[in-house]
Amino acid sequence: MQWEPVIGLEIHVQLATKSKIFSGAANRFGAAANTQACAVDLGLPGALPVTNEAVLRMAVKFGLAVDATIAKRSVFARKNYFYPDLPKGYQISQYELPIVHDGRIRIELRDGAVKEVGITRAHLEEDAGKSMHEDFPGFTGIDLNRAGTPLIEIVSEPDMRAAGEAVAYMKKIHSLVRYLEISDGNMQEGSFRCDANVSIRPKGETKLGTRTETKNINSFRFVEQAINYEIHRQIAVVEAGNEVFQETLLFDPVKNETRPMRSKEEANDYRYFPDPDLPPVVIDNAYIETIRAQLPELPEQKRRRFMDDFGLSEYDSSYLTASKDTADYFETAVAATKGEAKLIANWIMSELSAALNRDNIDINVARVTAEMLAGLVNRIADNTVSNKIARQVFGAMWRGEGSADDIIEKQGLKQVTDTGEIEKSVDEVIAESGAQLEQYRNAPPEKQGKLVGYFVGQVMKKSRGKANPKQVNQLLSAKLKNLGRG
């Protein structure tokens, strides 16, 4: 039988506020344990929450960016369960009346197709603390610095049909929250993580199958692996004549498999009810419109503008606008050249991207800054260096050897454009290459073109790559033609 996977994601995004969602404690990663947990975050007797205005603004921003409905009245509710790193015995979240609902976002798939994914809701809530199981023999240590960190939980419709689609969606949301500057999106630090709901059904069936929820996945690669594992597992279960259970799973990236969570939380009854400490959040049109007016340029708008203003292809524009950092890098670099948009784009998409991948770092901390890349591209544009030499210069810049001009100067890489000097090399090469010249002479005209390459290579070698390849080509072609006739 043919099976169709049905996937929905719940993405948790930590909001980049100065203080926590319900307290004035700092919202910062990496502090010593429990030094950023105040009376409210610890759930001390008598402590009360007061909502941070910035989290509302950020949620509305997100809602507007995904074309969602913004609730004029939203309500914080308590989700009750006991857990050692959940200080109050409940999490303040939004349940029946979330701040954002019914949105949508376009994702581009690997084959270039475009798909719309529905966003059921996005609600505000507080993060829990962290449990450290390794450092205290026989015990678990609780650090509540993260407790009360503002989160927006973005719940998609079950619109995705393959792990790749889920990854494309997750990347799109990641890019968007960075564009909106509502989150640093740092996945290593847990600022951006997701739960994947997966079920399968026979192709053509419209009813949903029983789903499992794989919790707390914090990388794009793991999401893909976890979903694929889960799809195959569920198919195997059903094809063996068994049933898929609704359960909560954890993904183990080392073993590349999912396993059921051991805690008894699954069968939990969360007893949601409106938080009596927090009256409803009421906002008006003016508030929403003020935020709309301040929205930054979004990826889709930027993509169009890159095509219109820089004459870039749709592919290049999509690539460059996929992340705000890449788009900013591109624009900064282009601004430092005489409109060399295409060259800059090519360099970002090839050499820079390869270097970033190799060293596994983000573009905003690239060792070749946008200004440095522009300096190099300017030297290509004015024929100071060839593309080939430029790659060598780029490598040197990446190693921290200085600016393009410094490196070209120091290493004497300036391109030779003096015709006399090039002609001298050409003549020398022809004189030294008797056998190859003989071969060239005997070759039929349609094959002669290919044999020119050998001579070009030798000339370039002689000039240590500095001869202008275009000039070398012209001179060689003319001279060989004459010799060929001889």
Partner 1 sequence: MHEFTLAELSHLLQKREISSVELVETCLERAEQFNDGLNCFISLFPEPALERARHADELIGGGKAGPLTGIPVVHKDIFCTGGFKTSCASKMLDNFIAPYDATVVDKLNMAGSVMLGKTNMDEFAMGSSSETSFYGPVRNPWDASRVPGGSSGGSACAVSARLAPAATGTDTGGSIRQPAALCGVTGLKPTYGRVSRYGMIAFASSLDQGGPITQTAEDAALMLAAMSGFDENDATSAEAGVDNYTATLNKEIKGLKIGLPAEYFSEQLERPVTDAITAALNLLEEAGASIIEIELPNTELSIPVYYVIASAECSSNLSRYDGVRFGYRCDNPKDIDDLFCRSRGEGFGDEVKRRIMIGTYVLSAGYYDAYYLKAQQIRRMLRDEFSNALKQVDVIITPTTPSTAFPLGARVDDPVSMYLSDIYTVSVNLAGLPAISIPVGFNDGLPIGMQVIGDYFGEARILNVAHQYQQITDWHKRVPRDYQ
Partner 2 sequence: MSFNKTTVQDIAWLARLAIDDQSIAGYEKDLTDILALVERMKKVNTADIQPLAHPLEIDTQLRPDAVTEENQRDDFQKIAPAITDGHYLVPKFVE
CA–CA distance, 276 with 92 (Å, rounded to integer)? 11
- Quick check: 355 and 398 in contact, CB under 8 A? yes
CA angle 174, 295, 15 (to 5 degrees): 45
Given the complex with partner 1, which of 44 and 483 has the nearer CB atom?
A: 44
Across 220-240, b (16+ Cβ under 10 Å) vs e yields bebbbbbbbbbbebbeeebee
Per CB under 8 A, the list member of 1, 114, 269, 412 interacting with partner 2 is 269
What's the closest the beta carbon of residue 130 comes to partner 2, in angstroms? Answer: 10
Query: Residues 6 or more apart from 111 whose CB is under 8 A from it?
Result: none
First to last CA, the chain: 72
Q: Which of 30, 46, 204, 400 binds partner 1 (CB under 8 A)?
A: 46
Nearest CB to partner 1, comparing residues 40 and 154: 40
| Cα distance between residue 236 and residue 242, in whole Å | 9
For partner 1, what does the binding mask look like between residues 269 and 298, x meaning CB under 8 A?
x-xxx--xxxx-------------------
Tell me the window of 79-87, 182-190, 304-312, 391-399 that interacts with partner 1 (CB under 8 A).
79-87
Q: How far is CA 200 from CA 8, 239, 314, 473, in A?
A: 12, 11, 35, 60
Contacts of residue 123, defined as CB under 8 A and 6 or more positions apart, other chains included, come to: 59, 74, 93, 94, 95, 98, 99, 100, 152, 153, 155
141 binds partner 1 (CB under 8 A): no
Check residue 140 for interaction with partner 1 (CB under 8 A): yes
**Distance from C-alpha of 229 to C-alpha of 220, rounded to nearest angstrom:** 14
- CB of 166 within 8 A of CB of 223? yes
By CB under 8 A, how many residues form the interface with partner 2?
52
Number of residues interacting with partner 1: please give it, by CB under 8 A.
31
Q: Report the partner that residue 282 touches, choosing among partner 2, partner 1, none (CB closer than 5 to 8 A by kind).
A: partner 2
Per-residue contact flags (x/-) with partner 1 for residues 339 to 378, judged by CB under 8 A: ----------------------------------------
Instruction: With beta carbons less than 8 A apart as the criterion, state whether 141 and 85 touch.
Output: no
89 near partner 1 (CB under 8 A): yes
> By three-state DSSP, how is residue 252 classified?
strand
User: Taking CB under 8 A as the criterion, which residues in 292-311 touch partner 2?
Assistant: none
Among 5, 87, 158, 209, binds partner 1 (CB under 8 A): 87
Q: How far apart are CA 119 and CA 121, in angstroms?
A: 6
What gap in Å lies between CA 270 and CA 224, rounded to an integer? 30
The answer to whether the CB of 15 falls within 8 A of the CB of 150 is: yes
Q: Does 18 bind partner 2 (CB under 8 A)?
A: yes
Among 39, 236, 354, 361, binds partner 1 (CB under 8 A): 39
Q: What are the two backbone dihedrals, phi and then psi, of residue 182, each rounded to the nearest 5 degrees?
A: -105, -10
Nearer to partner 2 (CB atom), residue 44 or residue 354 = 44
Site string for partner 2, 33-62 (x = CB under 8 A): xxxxxxx--x-x-----xxxxxxx------
The backbone region for 166, taken as left when phi is positive above 0, alpha when psi lies in -120 to 50, beta otherwise, is: alpha
Residue number with CB closer to partner 2 (139 or 435):
139
Window 270 to 289, contacts with partner 2 (CB under 8 A): 271, 274, 276, 278-282
Least Cβ distance, residue 374 to partner 2 (angstroms)? 36
Which one, 143 or 316, has the nearer CB to partner 1?
Answer: 143
- Closest distance of CB 91 from partner 1, Å: 11
Residue closer to partner 1 (CB basis): 125 or 159: 125
Beta carbons within 8 Å of 215's beta carbon, 6+ residues apart: 195, 248, 249, 250, 261
What distance in Å separates the CA atoms of residue 444 and residue 449, rounded to the nearest whole number? 10
Q: Which is nearer to partner 2, 278 or 322 (CB)?
A: 278
Residue 124 makes contact with partner 2 by CB under 8 A: no
Does residue 143 touch partner 1 according to CB under 8 A? no
Residues that bind partner 1 (CB under 8 A): 39, 42-51, 78, 80, 82, 84, 87-90, 140, 142, 144, 264, 269, 271-273, 276-279
Interface residues with partner 2 (CB under 8 A) are: 17-19, 23-26, 32-39, 42, 44, 50-56, 75, 82, 84, 131-133, 135-136, 138-144, 250, 261-263, 269, 271, 274, 276, 278-282
